[in-house]
Amino acid sequence: MPRGAKVRSMSDPIFEHRFRVALHDTDAAGVLFFAHLLRHAHDAYEAWMAQLGFPLDAMLRDGGLRLPLVHAEADYRRPLRHGDAVTVRLGVAGVGGSAFTVAYRFLDAQGELAASARTVHVGVDANGHRTLPDALRRAVQPPQTRLA
């Protein structure tokens, strides 16, 4: 979690992303390959950032602000199998001076928690300085979700 970050609960997700487990997502045991969970987390993150008005493809083309992933972790609670419908609930777990933490909950078709993940993204400007522009800070943590 970013230094100086304010911590939020995931009880109030701010974005949902859905996917179906594809055959190429599974391992020899027929369950979601562990590393693919983070790929799906990143898909949810990209969709969320685009909805906020910060599409990652445009940010990369513009060459200004970058948001490298500096930490990722995941916990697995139950298997997800080929064909399973999954809902990813995304929320902001913390915002610091130059970074923010995104929390993800992966729910199966019955709404049961199958996995969770967290990623930390650091803002880096074109000169290599760590920064989180005010517009992005406001977008990832709107006023109604700020903690006192």
Q: Are strands 99-107 and 69-76 parallel, antiparallel or unpaired?
A: unpaired
- Pick from 93, 147, 140: nearest CA to 118: 93
| Residue 90, strand partner residues | 15, 104
Calculate the dihedral angle through the C-alpha atoms of 117, 22, 56, 139, rounding to the nearest 10 degrees.
-50
Exposed (0-12), middle (13-18) or buried (19+): which is 56, by Cβ within 10 Å? Answer: middle
Cα–Cα distance for residue pair 141/148, rounded to 1 Å: 12
Question: Residues 12, 25, 27, 62: which is the catalytic one?
Answer: 27
Concerning whether 125 is annotated as a catalytic residue, the answer is no
Catalytic residue ranges:
27
